[in-house]
Amino acid sequence: MSKVLVIGGHGRVALELERLLAERGDEVDAVIRNPEHATDIEATGAKAVVADVETLDVDGLAGLLAGHDAVVWSAGAGGGNPERTRAVDHDAAVRSMDAAERAGVRRYVMVSYFGSRVDHRVPADSAFRHYADAKADADEHLRASALEYTILGPSTLADGPGTGRIDTTGEESRDVDRADVAAVAAQALVEPATIGRTIRFNRGDTPIADALRA
């Protein structure tokens, strides 16, 4: 059994992840900003932790992380506001990485997206540009850290029930169910072969456990 902290605990991927982790016997704390979401968190078998990661400094985040075996970052500003996107998707994410090192929480799984890379080539006048920059820069900070990281790059998210199968070999983003993204994150936490890797994936034909070991 592991003790896992999920940051961004009320997102649709996060809620499914919390359920999967709780069902396999892990102790799960889910960080949420809105206390009204606590009931949804507790329905998954996780414990709600009310905190605003956008405003917490590294020491405050280290206090949240202390005593956990792993952290999963699944938070995001949701786009729309460039300043807040940078504040959450980059600044807060980076502080959480630094806090994990400070708190001695070595295992860190980042839920990113398929196209996250420094050379993303998103046009400067695109509304998506600020998100692409924030995610790419945060992922680079994680790669440069001393953490045992895994960066997950799911393709376009869909609302299907999940198939339990993915493809990690495709070079272009297609789609993948949120349920499968959650299952990939859960499996990554217990699969040593995912440490130190960026794993981009689509819906596919390979069972998730086999795909992550490959």
The CATH number linked to 60 is: 3.40.50.720
pLDDT-derived band at 78 (thresholds 50, 70, 90) equals confident
Tell me how many domains the chain contains. 1
For the segment 97-119, what is each residue's pLDDT rounded down to a tens digit?
999 999 999 999 999 999 998 88
CA angle 104, 106, 107 (to 5 degrees): 140
Residue of 108, 113, 131, 149 with catalytic role: 131
Tell me the pTM: 0.96
Q: Is 149 a catalytic residue?
A: no
pLDDT-derived band at 189 (thresholds 50, 70, 90) equals very high
More confident residue, 175 or 120: 175
Q: Are 94 and 128 in contact (CB under 8 A)?
A: no
Residues spanned by the domain of 115:
3-213
Q: Are 26 and 1 in contact (CB under 8 A)?
A: yes
For the segment 27-48, what is each residue's pLDDT rounded down to a tens digit?
999 999 999 999 999 999 999 9
